[in-house]
Amino acid sequence: MNTCTSARQVIALKPDAIGLNFYPPSPRCVAVDTAADILEFLPVDISAVGLFVNHSAAEIIEHCKILELSTIQLHGDEPPELMSELLNAIPDLKIIRAWRMGADGLASLRIYLEQTARLRVPLTACLIDSQVKGVYGGSGTVVAWDMLNREYAREDWPPLILAGGLNPQNIGDAITAVHPFGVDTASGVESSVGQKDFALVGTFIKQARSVAIPEN
């Protein structure tokens, strides 16, 4: 099944957003032409998020302008200065900053967010993934939910998107434990690496939307 056909089937299941992965080493990477084809049939009520890993600012800006992307996710080692450069070029760009959390928790994220604040860089959200050496996401490894819940400064930091090993079996427990703004999955709804299992995608979406989050 080609990428566009797969995308159509995922879109038919009505997720809130789909990711367009532009990281060449990833088995989920799509070419710009393919991404443009997908965007042609993407409904207006489903967001497209461009995913970048250690791309240059010029590359990201070019992709965003060609594809008219309004939201991106930075999943590499991008410094705050790069985000400032992006916003100077595209002021309305929404940036989701992915962060890989390991055994040391979120101390490094706190420092990073202080740097972004000094540069007046607003973030749309922070996506917390698991830290796995040499991997920039899609590892299938679950985040330490209890630690994340303790350390994420919700009142001061951007909205939290939870990732990391989420699948139809654990998404309910994950949402109940963490109360995130949103959730993200990749490997957890695949039949093989890079190949979406549409039954799993549908079940994941249904399960995620069925969890009742108590009001604070």
* Per-residue pLDDT at 215: 59
- For the residues 195-211, what does the mean pLDDT come to? 95
The dihedral formed by the CA atoms of 117, 99, 159 and 198, expressed in degrees to the nearest 10: 150
**H-helix or E-strand spanning residue 110:** helix 107-118
Would 40 be classed as within a structural domain? yes
Q: Which residues pair with 17 in a beta bridge?
A: 47
Q: Average pLDDT in the 87-111 region? A: 96
CATH of the domain at 38: 3.20.20.70
Does a structural domain hold residue 27? yes
Element (H, E) at 107: helix 107-118
User: What pLDDT is attached to residue 137?
Assistant: 57
In a domain, 216, yes or no: no
Residue 89 lies in a domain: yes
Residue 165 counted as domain residue:
yes
Segment 168-175 shows an average pLDDT of: 96
Structural domain of 7: 3-210
Q: pLDDT > 90: what percent of the chain?
A: 87
pTM: predicted TM-score of the whole model, two decimal places: 0.93
Question: Three-state DSSP class for 161?
Answer: strand
Asked if residue 215 belongs to a domain, the reply is no
Q: Is residue 153 part of a domain?
A: yes
Split into its structural domains, the chain has a count of: 1
Q: Which long-range contacts (CB under 8 A, 24 or more apart) does 150-155 make?
A: 151/105, 151/106, 152/106, 152/128, 153/110
Span 130-142, pLDDT tens digits: 876 665 555 668 9
